[in-house]
Structure 1
Amino acid sequence: MNRSGAVFQETSAQPRTEAVPFSHLSLELGHLYMEDFAEGPERLYHHFTAVRPWVQAARDSLPALPDGRPPRVSTCFLIDDYFSRLATPAELLPPLLKAAERAGLGIDYLARESGCARTDPRRPERGGLADAVLDRLVETPPPGSRGFRPPLGLTGWLSNGRRAPDRRTTAALDTAAAWQPPSETGARGHSVFVDVELWQQHTGSRVWSCAFLAAVWQLARLGLLRDKGDAVLVPENREGAAFPEDWDALPSLLRLDPSAAPFTAYRTCSVLPSRFLPVEHAVRVILEQTQVDAGAQAQVVTRAAAEGHPVPEGVVERTSYVFPPGL
């Protein structure tokens, strides 16, 4: 007779993944540099008027839910306070929000780019998001690779294929035919090879690239980042009408509209100036080689399917972009 014995397991051995709420779409209304803000309110207003019809098109493209309800959509805007800080939040943010409102758009969530990079001084117990994502990168070895390439943790570079050899063997010194072109892994016909710089080292500190921080930003919006099972970059409600004078006194992610749909979403769409196109190509290369938290991934897939809104298994396929002409 077979007997089933009881299995005892410590609670700490059971992985826990904190659940987060989901919208169906996270709409990014822009990502401007500090010099764009320096051009004044009219520059901001021009940006939002160019963005508005594409935002509406993205909303209209979403099908209604099976029960007839409209899909949940939240909007967000990323402020570059990592590479430069030409003005304080109190000086910069009110004209931004006023320009968006004047153009007929509402910003639900305001995020600081530095929040994607370093530890939030308001929550020092949490590690930096960029370091955490770097630890989850798994380089895809190109066909025929012999593993001579240094790991990205040392070089700070990640590619989507095989780089052109930078040295020749002794036998190859006698012929010019030894050179080989770079090639994209899984290319369709012709290669589009991309080599992405993730970070640079300056005077002992690591400076993350715009592309890598944008990849962290996408993962945060998709609800795929966790710290020991805990949700990260959780929005905080705005307190008071005035913004602080210091950027580090501002939450990494601020909820401006208390009634807004959730920040995290099953899919993302970013409406950006065309100058960001190469950056976002690099973002896709990074996302394709990121091993996301399994528990967070399972939550997204399961809950989206339960709502009658299935999503692709691949993270990259859940991101989309619009590059409006003239923006």
Structure 2
Amino acid sequence: MSDAVFRETTAEPRTQSVPLSHVSLELGHLYMEDFEAGPERLGEHFAMVRPWVEAVRGTAAGNNGKRARVSTCFLIDDYFTRFSTPAELVPVLLGEAERHGLTIDYLARESGCAVADGIGIAEIVEHRLVESPPPGSDGSRPPAREIGWLANGERTPGVESLEAMANVPSWRPPTETAARRHSVFMDVELWDDLDQRRTWSCPFLAAVWQLARMGLLRYRGEPVLRPKPWSGKEFPRRWDDLPPLIQLNATAAPFCAYRTHSVLPSRFLPVEHAVRVILGQVEVDAVAFGQIAERSAREGVSVPDGIADRAGYVFYPGP
């Protein structure tokens, strides 16, 4: 008797590929206090960003002689605080960018990195966390999904643990798993659950944002946080009425890209260090990863194997 099992074709969803640029260039990721400071603050930011845009465009395609496909994006924080309205704020933002010779192709709301179109994107990434246990770890540390913290090495043992161990010194430093002689240890808070409500941390949402820009996120085989064309009509009065990601430039290169690059104020450096820790411990969709590897090989574009290494940054001094 045959043991063959028959399945409907739709039972195993096909992983869809996404169009890719060479680089997704982030022109800013500012908080509401930056917008509250007025157009001058936005102008100062774009003045610092402008010199780097052509530099990124010039190196985006590598040395294969092809014209670089570069798309630009901007992320607005509407997750932790709400300030003004899209109708009042977005035109000012676009106007200041244009005044400094910059075009924002895609505009995203940070809350869309948590939930977009009814899909819990942050939760999808949480389920794909695969911690890298440090050498010699004894398993006493709870997994990240239980405690909401993710480290790039081994913490200093707690006092209780030290007292329970025989013949050990009273203190031991934390250690970075991939340290180069000396450790740079980081322990990242991924979320908190205050008042029975989960709030994702800024580094975790920024990691989701990076994965989306790299075209590596899927839900039941379909890409998530997909851009929706904006018709040019007036922007809404409520943030929730603005789609999570909109395409402002009809002729823009694809939103997703082989690599990402972000130009940010220096205060974001610790956040993006935390992002790299998270990206280094996320198991992305294997089919999506393979699709990008196959396409980059056909195009002759060098793409690092490590997800965190696909993200590049410029940090400028400033508020």
TM-score band, normalised by shorter chain: over 0.9
Gaps of at least 5 residues in structure 1 are 1-5
Q: Which amino acid aligns with 2:201?
A: S
Give the TM-score taking structure 1 as reference length: 0.92
Q: CA deviation at 1:152?
A: 1.3
Q: Distance in 1 between matches of 2:16 and 2:168?
A: 57
| Partner residue, 1:88 | 85
Question: Which residue, out of 103, 107, 130, partners 1:106?
Answer: 103
Q: Distance in 1 between matches of 2:198 and 2:70?
A: 35
Q: Distance in 2 between matches of 1:326 and 1:197?
A: 25
Q: CA deviation at 1:173?
A: 8.6
Deviation string for 1:149-174 (max 9, x for gaps)? 11212211000000001124576699
* Partner SS for 1:177: coil
Deviation string for 1:101-140 (max 9, x for gaps)? 001100000000000012x3xx33xx21100000000111
Question: Which residue, out of 296, 303, 317, partners 1:304?
Answer: 296
CA distance 1:96–1:181, change in 2 (3 Å)? same
| Partner residue, 1:49 | 47
Map residues 163-178 of structure 1 onto 2, 5 A cutoff: 163-169=155-161, 177-178=169-170
CA distance 1:201–1:8, change in 2 (3 Å)? closer
1:152 aligns with 2:149: no
CA distance 1:170–1:41, change in 2 (3 Å)? closer
CA distance 1:15–1:38, change in 2 (3 Å)? same
1:181 aligns with 2:173: yes
Q: CA deviation at 1:242?
A: 0.7
Map residues 262-273 of structure 1 onto 2, 5 A cutoff: 262-273=254-265
Work out the number of aligned pairs and report it: 316
* Partner SS for 2:101: coil
Q: CA deviation at 1:314?
A: 1.1
Q: Which amino acid aligns with 1:166?
A: G
Q: CA deviation at 1:10?
A: 4.6
Deviation string for 1:199-251 (max 9, x for gaps)? 01121110010000000000000000000101111100102331000111111
Map residues 4-83 of structure 1 onto 2, 5 A cutoff: 10-12=8-10, 14=12, 16-63=14-61, 66=64, 68-83=65-80
Q: Which amino acid aligns with 1:146?
A: D
* Partner SS for 2:297: helix
Give the TM-score taking structure 2 as reference length: 0.94
Q: Distance in 1 between matches of 2:22 and 2:66?
A: 12
CA distance 1:99–1:7, change in 2 (3 Å)? same
| Partner residue, 1:117 | 114
Contact 2:22–2:61 (CA under 8 A) maintained in structure 1: no
| Partner residue, 1:3 | none
Q: Distance in 1 between matches of 2:315 and 2:262?
A: 8
CA distance 1:227–1:170, change in 2 (3 Å)? closer
CA distance 1:8–1:170, change in 2 (3 Å)? closer
* Partner SS for 1:178: coil
Q: Which amino acid aligns with 2:66?
A: R
* Partner SS for 2:133: coil
Q: CA deviation at 1:8?
A: 6.8
